[in-house]
Structure 1
Amino acid sequence: MNTMPPQINYPEILLTVAGEQIFVQIEEIMYLEAKGSYTDIYLADGQKCRISKKLKLALKILNADYFVRIHHSYALNLKYLAGFCNGDSASVKLKDGSQLPLSRSRKTDFLSFFKRL
């Protein structure tokens, strides 16, 4: 008889962090930043890793349902959104205190997402 509790399987991805291959739950990714042909991935525990994929492809691989594109260079996991400033230089604030730019071209889609809630 198996008495092990059922396991919850959150989506994971294999990433290289500090030269080591690790599995990361997608929900632990706070945001992504485009760096040319690479994408920097910022994790909730403060780690950063770089993958050799453009941001658009990285979002496809990660399942973009978890993320909102807020800028040409940034995509945000809404789980970590703390607030946003809707002024001339719009930005979003993350729960860890980080601020990311919210581009004019992405602002309308970003705001309409919240109006649907």
Structure 2
Amino acid sequence: MIINAVIIDDEVNNVDNLSILLQQYCKQVHVVAKGFNAQQGKDIILQYKPDLVFLDVQMPGEDGFELLKSLPDLYFEIIFVTAYDQYGIQAIKFSAIDYLLKPIKIHDLQDAVNKVVIKNSQKKQNLQLENLVKLLQQNEPPRIAISTTKETRFIKPDNIIFCESSNNYTTFHLNNSETIISSRPIYEYESLLGPYGFIRCHQSYIINKNHVKSWVKEDGGYLLMEDNSQIPVSRNKKENLRDLLR
């Protein structure tokens, strides 16, 4: 399995060193582009759509965390590479698959890349399951596959009230008060659920517009769902959400 990667670091020597280590010890990783500041990093991520990003935290101007916040979706895996060890908690918030300290140790780098290989393999299996669901949908009402740590559940979209993100996991809240915790991040479900009337109203929430009871304008504004859950609405999504709910 080939993993297309980009390296973003403001020091040329660090970029070259990491490239050499990957070439020698992680041959499944193919470096498709390199960036030396946050803007270059954003440009190459949007252009090459990599599977993996090696990202330095401290860079002139915007740092690595600010770069990630500026992207519309974090669909790729992230390995932070930094000379400082105080950023671990922030790295977790961005669901980083690993956190490497400079100078990079070869076995740490190999362990981090192996985690990416395993996760990408799981994504491939999930895609196969989605293809199976499409076949099932030819003769039955549409269903989606929700992968948990123990099983794969096949659920009708109409039964889902909303989805809630928690790092690399997604919790599905159903209309029978049941919750299902998926081992996949929420952004992977956004395009899958879109055709069934689901809307991304917040970084951490996707809602089924057919289960919206009201849009409450007080207390900063939130969506009241049929199960009485209160779902926040991001400021930058309000206008689009208003149009989609009409």
TM-score norm. by structure 2 comes to 0.40
Could you say which structure has the higher strand fraction? 1
Supply the distance in 2 between the matched residues of 1:53 and 1:17 (Cα, whole angstroms). Answer: 8
Correspondence 1:1-117 to 2 at 5 A = 9-15=140-146, 19=150, 21-61=152-192, 63-65=193-195, 66-87=197-218, 89-114=220-245, 117=246
Q: Deviations over 1:17-70 (max 9, x none)?
A: 795654211110110011111111111111111112111112223x31220111
Supply the distance in 2 between the matched residues of 1:101 and 1:43 (Cα, whole angstroms). Answer: 18
Supply the distance in 2 between the matched residues of 1:97 and 1:88 (Cα, whole angstroms). Answer: 16
Supply the distance in 2 between the matched residues of 1:85 and 1:73 (Cα, whole angstroms). Answer: 19
Q: Deviations over 1:56-87 (max 9, x none)?
A: 112223x3122011111001001100110234
Asked if 1 retains the 8 angstrom alpha-carbon contact of 2:149 and 2:183, the reply is no
The two structures, once aligned, show a CA RMSD in angstroms of 2.1
Could you say which structure has the higher helix fraction? 2
**Larger relative contact order (C-alpha < 8 A, sep ≥ 6)?**
1
What's 1:5 paired with? none
Supply the distance in 2 between the matched residues of 1:57 and 1:18 (Cα, whole angstroms). Answer: 16
Supply the distance in 2 between the matched residues of 1:75 and 1:93 (Cα, whole angstroms). Answer: 13
Q: Secondary structure at the match of 1:83?
A: strand
In structure 2, runs of 5+ residues without a counterpart are 1-138
TM-score norm. by structure 1 comes to 0.78
Equivalent residues, number: 107
Supply the distance in 1 between the matched residues of 2:240 and 2:219 (Cα, whole angstroms). Answer: 16
Letter in 2 for 1:93: L
Q: Secondary structure at the match of 1:96?
A: coil
**Over 3 Å off, 4+ runs:** 14-22
